[in-house]
Amino acid sequence: MTLLHPRNVLPFPPGSNGTDTIISGYHLNLTALGEWNYTLYSNGTLSNGSWCLLTFEPWAPTYLFPNGTFLNTTWCWSPVDPIGTRGIVAIAFAVLFGLAIVLSLVTLNKHGSLHLPATKRFYPIGRRWQWYWGFWVCATAIVSLLTSIDVDRYYLPELPVILTSFFWYLMQWGAMAVVWEAVRHWGSWMERQLVDPDPFALRQDDRRALFELVIPLFFYLFLWLNFFMIIPRNWTPIQHQRYPEQTLLEAAPTATDARFKAGAFLLLVSWVVILVSLRHSIKHYCPRNRGFINRATGLVRFTPLRFKLLIPLAAAVVAFQALVAFRFDYSPLCVDGNLAAIFAGGYLPSLLILYVQIAFGFLNPNEDLELKRQRRVRNQEFDRQMGIVHKPSWWRRVNGEVLDPNASMRERLAANARELSGAKPTPADGGYGPEVPSDAAGPVEMTPVPPPPPPAVSRPYTGRSETLHEDRAVAMAASLASSEAVAAREAAAERARRHHELMQDGLDLPPPAYSEAVGTRQGDATRTRSEQSEGGRSTDQPQTQVRSMLDV
């Protein structure tokens, strides 16, 4: 591996003898250095193409063994320099991106929460994707910025410049996705507001729905093509910026090759797809205008303020990626590039995209809550058109129309009956109206049933008369027998009443046999008039057997 141009090679300083050299005040074996092909360069490094060591204090090697092993060695690719301007500005930007993560979590919690049942037509994850991509942008930007600190600290460029460039392109990739998801979801939100009053206002199988199904595929197709044009490549030549000739011959041509230029063009196509999606949403979900000039004016007028800020910032992302594909000195891939251009054009647009999203995330309400508010407004307008005036919330409580939550079923039924009859509640019913005597007549269904009198319990006899003992026992037995008889009669009456109700409802017992009808028609003397009137069956008449259809 060539570290410096051959003209920057220095001869070894003379030492005590012909096999000795002095480097930074330390004697090293010149024979061993020559045997292992070490070369001294003007930038203070000692290298043989595979190993590179620093030769200045305090990292100079103190001794060299004959087998080529050094004592007190420090690699050329070590962070030995202090943090430079690039690192200080990178830390400030990393703090801002870290704060954006916290604020994005708050806005995601606000707009991602559900206050209405989820539907298949509008998935809850659709409103959250823009915040998920925001986390992607913050994470990749922080990694890129923190690794750029070591770009200044490394004595010779190595892995940090590759990591910075790699994650910077991923950050721009995610910034475009943030703008796309914001525009796409705004169109979905406009559609949801239109179909909420009337689910059949917009069809789901027309050209509009088909276009909305296909256009995300086009956007992510070009976005992924941008990814595959830039990310999967050999990044090693980017770190070959150890002297000007190497930068011009290896790093710059790699950072401005055809693949980077094609990636910038594909990102431009993705930005155009965002504009097409915005125009489609305005055309179908906003008031229409006639004429080319009116439509162009309406496109600008109906575009939300958020997108008037996001779309130009997304265009700045595309423009800067195209710029660095042609000018290497403005690129984050350049170790000694223009820092003002790198941070102002490379990181600032993505940071502003995030903070615009966060600001409007705090200003805009949750969509479910906004939809509930629109429903209340529509219901109030419908009531006004129909002349319905709702009483205030305190009206029911003042008029005693609010029941105790621990009220019994009878009290709830009584409240329903009063609502139908228009009667005012009484304190006995749990209301606040004037008190009514307890014996006042009320609705038939709500008349309270008096409780049955308690059974008479004869007091036991404690005297010594055997006759009285026997009389008391007989009287108690008679009372128990009479009570059982009364209970049996009540049960029989209840069964008769239930049987009568079932007959009224068409659930009578099976019809009488054919023999009863035949015996009645022939004047059968064994069947009495009372039995015929009561529908009973004669026990003396044998059952007639049906032999053929002629008997029927």
Model confidence over 344-359: pLDDT tens digits? 999 999 999 999 999 9
Of all residues in the chain, what percent are helix, strand and coil, respectively (each to 5)? 60, 5, 35
Of the pLDDT bands very low, low, confident and very high (cuts 50, 70, 90), residue 425 is: low
318 and 264 Cβ atoms separated by less than 8 Å: yes
Residues 392 and 243: their CA atoms lie apart, in Å, by 82
Q: Note the pLDDT of residue 476.
A: 73
Instruction: Please list, residue by residue across 196-232, b when 16 or more beta carbons sit within 10 angstroms of its beta carbon and e when fewer do.
Output: eeeeeeeeeeeebeeebeebeeebeebbebbbebbee
For residues 350 and 172, the answer to whether their CB atoms sit within 8 Å is yes
Each residue's pLDDT tens digit, 382-417: 888 888 888 887 777 777 666 667 777 888 788 777
pLDDT over 60 (residue 302): yes
Question: What pLDDT score was predicted for residue 161?
Answer: 92
Single out the residue of 410, 381, 387, 414 nearest to residue 400, CA to CA: 414
CA angle 145, 150, 151 (to 5 degrees): 85
Nearest CA among 135, 136, 318 for reference residue 226: 318
Query: pLDDT per residue over 4-49, tens digit each?
Result: 454 477 778 887 777 778 887 788 878 888 788 888 887 778 887 7
Q: 111-131: per-residue pLDDT in tens?
A: 999 999 888 888 888 899 999
What's the whole-number mean pLDDT along residues 231-255? 90
- Mind listing the pLDDT tens digit for each residue in 171-222? 999 999 999 999 999 999 999 999 988 888 888 888 999 999 999 999 999 9
∠ CA 439-443-447 to the nearest 5 degrees?
Answer: 50
With CA atoms as reference, report the closest residue to 185 among 346, 375, 419, 357. 357
For residue 61, the surrounding DSSP H or E stretch is none
Q: Which two tokens stand for residue 79?
A: 């962070």
Query: What crossing angle do the helices spanning 348-363 and 85-112 adopt, rounded to 10°?
Result: 30
Which CATH number, 3.30.750, 1.20.1070, 2.40.128, 1.10.3470, labels domain 85-371?
1.20.1070
Mean pLDDT calculated for residue range 220-232: 95
Q: Are 195 and 201 in contact (CB under 8 A)?
A: yes
Tell me the CB-side half-sphere exposure of residue 500, using CA atoms within 13 A: 7
Which residue type sits at 202?
L
3-state secondary structure of 23: strand
Asked whether the predicted pLDDT for residue 276 surpasses 80, the reply is yes
The 3-class secondary structure across 110-143, one letter per residue, is HHHCCCCCCCCCCCCHHHHHHHHHHHHHHHHHHH
C-alpha distances (whole Å) from 424 to each of 264, 390, 405, 427, 429 are 78, 19, 19, 10, 10
Report the run of H or E that residue 26 belongs to, with start and end: strand 26-29
Give the pLDDT band of residue 363 (cuts 50, 70, 90): very high
The beta-carbon contacts of 204-208 under 8 Å, at least 24 apart in sequence, are 204/121, 208/280, 208/284
- How is the beta sheet containing 9-10 ordered, strand by strand? 9-10, 39-41, 45-47, 52-54
Instruction: Report which of 238, 303, 296, 230 is spatially closest to residue 264, judged by C-alpha positions.
Output: 230
pLDDT at site 519:
41
d(CA 60, CA 409): 95
Q: Helices in 154-257 by DSSP H: which ranges? A: 159-195, 207-230, 244-246, 252-255
Lookup: tokens for 507: 């659930």
Token code pair at residue 509: 């017992």
Peptide bond between residue 443 and the one before it cis (omega within 30 degrees of 0): no
Tell me phi and psi for residue 54, to 5 degrees.
-85, 140
Residue 475: per-residue pLDDT: 76
CA distances to 61, 75, 239, 259, 509 from 51, rounded to whole Å, are 13, 8, 16, 32, 108
What confidence score (pLDDT) does residue 491 get?
Answer: 82
Backbone angle region of 348, left / alpha / beta, with phi > 0 → left and psi within -120 to 50 → alpha: alpha
Mean pLDDT to the nearest integer, 305-333: 95
Q: Which residues contact 273 (CB under 8 A, 6 or more apart)?
A: 180, 215, 218, 219, 222
Question: DSSP state, 428?
Answer: G
Question: In degrees, to the nearest 5, what angle opens at C-alpha 259 toward C-alphas 257 and 262?
Answer: 115
Give the H/E segment covering residue 375.
helix 367-386
Task: Give the whole-angstrom CA distance, residue 41 versus residue 38.
Answer: 10
Where are the domains positioned within the chain?
A: 6-71, 85-371, 508-538
Closest by CA to 50, choosing from 36, 63, 61, 62, is 36
Distance of CA 452 to the CA centre of its chain: 63
